[in-house]
Copies of this chain bind each other. A is one copy, B any other.
Amino acid sequence: MILLDGAATAKSIKLEIASEVEALKKSGQKVPHLAAVLVGDDGASMTYVGSKVKSCEEVGFVSTLITRPSNTTEEELLQIVDQLNRDPEIDGYIIQLPLPKHINEHKILLAIDPEKDVDGFHPVNVGKMMLNLPCFLPATPAGIIELLRRYQVPTEGKHAVVIGRSHIVGLPVSVLLQRNAYPGNCTVTIAHSRTSDLKSLCKSADIVIAALGKPEFVTGEMIKEGAVVVDVGITRVVDASKKSGFRIAGDVNFAEVAEKCSFITPVPGGVGPMTIVSLLMNTLSAVKNHR
């Protein structure tokens, strides 16, 4: 079993990005500038945004964190989006999701300039991804693909089962895996809550992408000997033995599954760090596009 070490891979990609940033600086060009907007005080969101900002610093990007209270109005947020769209200093930005319930996420999303949409969530970028045109790929799916690439995991003709049909992970990663490319050329099955007999389906898969958000859902008996397993889940589970009172669990029962796998991602340290690195890569390419 080979561990798909997202943390180590992300670290080496960050070094590559940092040297590209150095080269930009030396040639007198603009240093990438990522802005992040955080509305409200959701604990997990604060952690995620914090990691993103910290990663920017590590690679030499400029970063701006814009925080607003949870009672911020939709109109106020749209104004921030408009300012970010027009600010030539900002190469790319993200609006951390979820937003407070009184704000229409789709409305905000559609207001983002697709050229600065480094999360790859705007319909223009989603559509271009579908059509295999240059675009910002959504961060988590792109991170998964990059991890498979770096470990030279064979994908052509393999049967990939994606569990979960979310717009930010399951659906786009299924699109990327079926593409005529490497990594890609998989026969892809997208499974979800209405799928009947998910166990046998999983068991038949060469590659399993677990992205349903149910802690330790994928068990050993659901996995074929030699399969590749990518765990996108990240849930806090109550655990009295921990000082914090909880532990982080993936969608995969690692202890049971790992021993059957050819490759597997850990949680944490698997898909998570690769997601952040995708965001950095998108921001770097935003600068190049605007040059």
A240 within 8 A of B: no
Taking the complex as formed, is A122 at the interface, i.e. its CB lies under 8 A from any CB of chain B? yes
Q: What per-residue 1/0 map shows which CB atoms of A120-157 lie under 8 Å from chain B?
A: 00111111111111000000000000000000000011
Quote the shortest CB–CB distance from A257 to chain B (angstroms).
21
B interface footprint on A181-214 (CB within 8 Å = 1, 0 otherwise): 0000101111110111000010000000000000
Q: Interface SS of chain A: helix, strand, loop or mixed?
A: mixed
Which chain B residues lie closer than 8 Å to A165 at the CB level?
178, 180
Minimum CB–CB distance for A163 against chain B, Å: 10
Per the bound structure, the CA–CA distance linking A55 and B21 in Å amounts to: 57
CA distance A171 to B180 in the complex (A): 12
Considering only residues 79-101 of chain A, those with a C-beta below 8 Å from chain B are none
A86–B123 CA distance with the chains assembled, in angstroms: 23
- A131 contact set on B, CB distance < 8 A: 106, 123, 126, 167
Which A residues lie at the B interface, using CB under 8 A?
A: 106, 122-133, 156-157, 159, 165, 167, 171-172, 174-175, 178, 180, 185, 187-192, 194-196, 201
In-complex Cβ contact of A187 among B123, B159, B185, B191 (8 A)? B191
A133 touches B157 (CB 8 A): no
Please give me the residue from chain B that is nearest to A188 by CB atom: B190
Contact of A195 among B167, B172, B187, B194 (CB under 8 A): B187
Q: Is the CB of B196 within 8 A of A187?
A: yes
Output the nearest chain B residue to A195 by Cβ-Cβ distance: B187
Query: Residue of B at shortest CB range from A132?
Result: B167
A194 with B123: CB separation less than 8 A: no
Given A171-B175, A189-B189, 7 additional A-B pairs, CB 8 A? A106-B131, A123-B128, A126-B126, A127-B129, A130-B167, A132-B167, A187-B192
For A129, what are the chain B residues with a Cβ–Cβ distance below 8 Å?
127
Chain B's closest residue to A130 (CB) is B126
In the complex the two chains form, is B122's CB within 8 Å of A127's CB? yes
- The answer to whether B185 and A194 touch across the interface, beta carbons within 8 angstroms, is yes
Shortest distance from the beta carbon of A213 to any chain B beta carbon, whole Å:
15
Within the complex, the shortest CB–CB distance from A157 to chain B, in Å, comes to 5
Q: What are 17 residue pairs bridging A and B, where the CB atoms are less than 8 Å apart in the complex?
A: A106-B131, A123-B128, A124-B124, A126-B126, A126-B127, A126-B130, A127-B127, A130-B130, A130-B167, A157-B195, A165-B180, A171-B178, A187-B191, A187-B195, A187-B201, A188-B189, A189-B190
Q: Which of B106, B123, B174, B187 contacts A124 (CB 8 A)?
A: B123
Tell me the minimal C-beta distance from A184 to chain B in angstroms: 9
Per the bound structure, the CA–CA distance linking A171 and B177 in Å amounts to: 12
4 closest A-B pairs by beta carbon, nearest first, are A123-B127, A127-B127, A126-B127, A189-B189
Residue of B nearest to A167 (CB): B131
Which one of A129, A131, A133, A196 has the highest number of Cβ atoms from chain B below 10 Å of its Cβ?
Answer: A131
